[in-house]
Amino acid sequence: MKDFKKYFIVLLITAGLFAVAWSASEYFNDQKIAEIQKAQDQATVDVMSSETQFDLLEEQSCQDIGNNYLAQEISDLADKISYAEQNINDQTQIALLKQQYSVLEVKDFLLNKQISARCKTPIATILYFYKTDNTCADCTKQGYVLDALRQNYPQIRVYSFDAGLDSSTIRALLTIYKVPDNLPALIINGKTKSGFMSMDDITKLLPKTVINPVTPKATTSTPAVTSKKQVIPTSQTSQ
């Protein structure tokens, strides 16, 4: 029995090393979730700042209103949530973050619509509804198309919503836009389209002034400050 004592001790040491690795993983994953939460909180504040700024500058020039930087901020957030979804085990926490993220997207979407309406500037927004389960065969392909679209046309705002997520906001959107069950579905500037759409199909439905914007002759003189670090650049489309 003495001979096997070492085997048992090594077993304990190995299990201990696994416990250390697991603890380290948990610690860093918690840090990542906290980082997403922090970024999400920051984005929420920034959206609210833009909304407030929008209200305050009602009488000002439309050139002073902009929230394009939010697109990048929200896009980065989406990347992190997507990464966390695949690499972090705590899916309950991830689902909560996704719900918060969906609300944030909707707020940014509404703000953009308001800016567009007031300033009479054309915008290109796409709401994309997908599912991560096996019921949506074309969602992967649609995702590739939208990724490419966003990279080729950064001025297009794409808001992705997991229709399988238990979120009242997403349910409301599904109802308002009469999104059918067969996903993927896209709401392109207010028009609901169901089924897979190629890049050409999508760009045909977007305003040409957004797809091929005219370079502005001069930039605005006074950028609007929204937070300690963030400076809102002027909208490329507002002339």
Partner 1 sequence: MTVGEIITYAVIFLAVYVQVFLFVTYLEHRKKLPQLMSQDVPEIHNPPKVAIIVPCWNEEKTVHGTIASILALDYPQDRLEVIAVDDGSTDTTWQELQYYKDNPRVRIFQKENGGKHTAINFGIDNTDAEIIGGLDADSFVAPDALKRMVAMFQADPAVMAVTPSLIVHNPKNLLQYAQRVEYNMSTYNKKMLSFLGAIHVTPGPFSLFRKSLFDQIGKFRKAHNTEDQELAYRMQKNHMKIEHCVNAYVYTSSPNTVKKLYKQRLRWIYGFIQNTIDYRQLVFNREYLNFSFFTLPSGIISIIAVVFLSGTFLYDLIVFIIKKITQYSTIGFTTTRFHFNFSLFYINTQTVFFITIILYVLLIFSIVMGTRLNQQGKGFDWHIILYIVVYSIIAPFWLLKAVWNTITGRRQPAWR
Shortest Å, Cβ 176 to partner 1:
29
Shortest Å, Cβ 215 to partner 1:
17
Pick the closer one to partner 1 by CB: 36 or 210: 36
| Beta pairing class for 125-130 and 185-188 | antiparallel
H-assigned helices in the chain: 2-56, 68-87, 91-119, 139-152, 168-176, 199-204, 208-211
The CA radius of gyration of the chain, in Å to the nearest whole number, is 22
Strand partners, 231: 225
Using DSSP's 3-state secondary structure scheme, residue 173 falls into helix
Shortest Å, Cβ 163 to partner 1:
21
Among 193, 191, 207, smallest CA distance to 153 is for 207
Shortest Å, Cβ 147 to partner 1:
8
Applying CB under 8 A, the residues found at the interface with partner 1 are: 3-4, 6-7, 9-11, 13-14, 17-18, 20-22, 24-25, 28-29, 32, 35, 76, 80, 83, 87, 140-141, 144-145, 148, 151-152, 198-199
User: Is there a contact between 73 and 38 (Cβ–Cβ < 8 Å)?
Assistant: no
Pick the closer one to partner 1 by CB: 62 or 124: 124
Pick the closer one to partner 1 by CB: 149 or 224: 149
Pick the closer one to partner 1 by CB: 25 or 222: 25
Shortest Å, Cβ 32 to partner 1:
6
Cα–Cα distance between 39 and 61 in angstroms, integer?
30
Pick the closer one to partner 1 by CB: 25 or 219: 25
Shortest Å, Cβ 204 to partner 1:
16
User: Is there a contact between 27 and 20 (Cβ–Cβ < 8 Å)?
Assistant: no
Pick the closer one to partner 1 by CB: 177 or 196: 196
* Residue carrying the six token digits 């069950």: 181
